[in-house]
Chain A
Amino acid sequence: MQPFRIHSGIVAPLDRANVDTDAIIPKQFLKSIRRSGFGPNLFDAWRYLDRGEPGMDPASRRPNPDFVLNASRYRGASILLARHNFGCGSSREHAPWALADYGFRALIAPSYADIFFNNCFKNGLLPVVLGERDVARLFADVAAFPGFSLTIDLERQIVATADGAVVSAFEVDAFRRQCLLNGWDDIGLTLRHADEIRAFEAKRFAEEPWLA
């Protein structure tokens, strides 16, 4: 996994609550058996005026001029600013894959759905939780200043503006932070405890043999 230590980038605002993973990456693109290539279909139904199907050339599509990510001022954005309960619904990891493939490295929102939140950490995508008031102010700042950028520092656990002013500190689980900072492979970490897992399993099957 790509490590995440510190990242600076343009912020794009997605001003609606309860954005579900069906909206982030619609079902027809879930037929892929690969992990990459979902970026062109991120927010497909909102981003294009024509109906997207797998295998279409993105260059031939009709972009929706009213969708925020199509505005030239947000080109190259790598931080997505969102509202509460972002990523609700389906557990599809294709959602963080699509966000990362598009070029997002971090998200900022007041809250996320549990499964989506968890999936982000497995893909080097940092979902930052800030208070409602901080998020509201950032939406106002993004609207006011074209090219508005932020720096997200995972080591210091702060979000700062381009001129270095701290917007807010943020919380993140110590274990998840450590994995993300180092780009660690979860499976490798867990397999270091293989003996403990085997011992646990043996005891469990002895106590509840119908599970074996």
Chain B
Amino acid sequence: MTVRTLYDKLWDSHVVREEADGTALLYIDRHLVHEVTSPQAYEGLRLAGRKPWRTDSIVATADHNTPTTHWDEGIRDPVSRTQVETLDANIARFGAKAYYPFRDPRQGIVHVIGPESGATLPGMTVVCGDSHTSTHGAFAALAFGIGTSEVEHVLATQCLLMKKSKSMLVRVDGTLPRGVTAKDLVLAIIGRIGTAGGTGHAIEFAGEAVRALSMEGRMTVCNMTIEAGARAGMVAVDDTTIDYLRGRGFAPSGDLWERAAAHWRTLVTDAGAAFDTTHVFDAKAVRPQVTWGTSPEMVVAIDERIPDPDREKNSERREGIERALAYMGLTPNVPIADVHIDKVFIGSCTNSRIEDLREAAAVVRGRRVAGSVRLAMVVPGSGRVKAQAEAEGLDRAFRAAGFEWREPGCSMCLAMNDDRLEPGERCASTSNRNFEGRQGAGGRTHLVSPAMAAAAAIAGHFVDVRRLY
């Protein structure tokens, strides 16, 4: 029997048929749906007189547009409200396995509720009209973001037309130092391989440091695979995976659980299987990271300085650095730790799970947000995360420190609701993209881990969180 990578196994087990040029019809097990990228797909379905192929594959929620305050007042923005109500109507008409609408206690970010409800299982193909669907690869699922035409295609046929990607192994040897998290690791990886480094590839993250990560940490790493250019990231099944899934709502139980778990344990890359590309990292060398520019690859360690474009020989890259520095309002060669911030956002599908909130709360407990910080907010990833955090008293720690404790949703990661930066405002953010205008027109985003965001809130500027322990 030939040796195969995890990606090979996931791919092979979903191919319905293949065209002569290698274009495959790939079967989709789980379809996650949210309000922004689905209305046109349902409209297309309706216009063509088609029906969803398998409504039981669909788990839906409203997350991008929903407000994080004053839920009793509903959604004030009429355009956002229409989009959310359109999803309500489409699910009512076409059906779903589960729907967590606005204000449901289980509502939340689609990439948080999938795993926590057990709707994401190893060996599945998982798609969603959202690029951060790569998150679910943490469960040894083949998970990737799709456009709205493909959302409609999956609704109508339960399949996608696609070609197999190349494979990439990112192996992280050794142990991450204390205070250095999954977020720092993935930012360091993107800093090295670049935002297009994974284009055309599916990435498997492996090695001692990845094995040591919790499921939350693995989700953070896989979540940002797309920021390295790869549609899908994944981690092989081990005890951590199985332990996380046991007892989750949609996970199997009883005899079926035993059968499933035995099968899931085969979802690993066989010894000797070859990858098209391999990158090796030393976990010990990773330090807390802070992005300084307008692309996630523009990142430095907390003890480093903002780069000097004059030292860049490649003209395209030099212009990119100059443009980013101008947008970010930063001066070359200044230590990143000297950069002061106006706002702090802890949340997003990258870093809004219970472990993220625990890490941030541990930093702020007994401290106060700096007076120069206008707003520090925590947006839990889901209603369940929020309830769990409140049961542990994390909300009280955040509030006592001067943070706002909000309702769940995507919030200021992409600022489709009222949570946004004003022009020129600088934010320490646990989200995934620092693009121009991402958190609000003219806003300046620095991506960091939850612990680093908490530390920046306390200090008023970026600081090595390890000095606060």
A residues with a Cβ closer than 8 A to B are 16-18, 20, 22-23, 26-28, 30-35, 45, 51, 54-55, 83-85, 88-93, 96, 111, 113-115, 118-119, 122-123, 173-176, 186-187, 189-191, 193-194, 196-197, 200-201, 204, 208-212
Contacts and interface: CB of A to CB of B under 8 A. Distances in A.
Contacts of B147: 91-93, 96, 115, 118-119, 122
B131 to A, nearest CB: 4
A62 B466 CA distance: 48
B438 interface: yes
B37 A190 contact: no
Contact of B158 (A28, A96, A201, A208): A201
Interface in B230-270: 230-231, 251-252, 256-257, 259-260, 263
Given A33-B43, A113-B229, A91 B145 contact: yes
Contact of A34 (B40, B48, B437, B441): B40
B161 A111 contact: no
B202 to A, nearest CB: 10
Contacts of B39: 33
A131 B282 CA distance: 34
B148 A93 contact: yes
B133 to A, nearest CB: 8
A91 B129 contact: yes
Contacts of A35: 40, 43, 148
B433 interface: yes
Contacts of A115: 131, 144-147, 226, 231
9 contacts: A17-B316, A31-B416, A35-B43, A85-B229, A90-B433, A91-B130, A113-B196, A174-B20, A210-B252
Interface of B: 13, 16-17, 19-21, 23, 25, 27, 29, 36-37, 39-40, 43, 48, 50, 53-54, 56, 64-65, 77, 79-80, 82-83, 86, 121, 123-124, 129-131, 144-150, 152-153, 156-159, 161-163, 165, 195-196, 199-200, 226-227, 229-231, 251-252, 256-257, 259-260, 263, 295, 316-317, 319-320, 323, 414-416, 433, 435-438, 441
Contact of A200 (B27, B37, B226): B27
A193 B25 contact: yes
B131 A83 contact: no
Contacts of A122: 147, 149-150
Given A84-B196, A91-B37, A91-B145, 5 more contacts: A16-B320, A22-B436, A115-B146, A176-B23, A189-B161
B263 A208 contact: yes
Contacts of A190: 25, 153, 156-157, 159, 161
A31 B80 CA distance: 6
A22 B131 CA distance: 12
A91 B157 contact: no
A197 B36 contact: no
Contacts of B153: 186-187, 190
B16 A193 contact: yes
A175 B40 contact: no
A114 B27 CA distance: 19
Contacts of A189: 161
Nearest to A209: B256
A92 B161 contact: no
B330 to A, nearest CB: 18
Contacts of B152: 187
Contacts of B441: 26, 45, 51
Contacts of A34: 40
Given A93-B148, A113-B229, A22 B161 contact: no
Contacts of A194: 157
B16 A197 contact: yes
B196 A85 contact: yes
A166 to B, nearest CB: 24
A191 to B, nearest CB: 6
A81 B323 CA distance: 19
A185 B439 CA distance: 36
A89 B226 CA distance: 7
A211 B126 CA distance: 12
A189 B159 CA distance: 12
Contact of A33 (B82, B121, B129): B82
Contact of B414 (A27, A33, A83): A27
Contacts of A111: 196, 199
A135 B148 CA distance: 30
Given A197-B25, A211-B121, A186 B320 contact: no
A83 B316 contact: yes
Contacts of A119: 147, 149-150
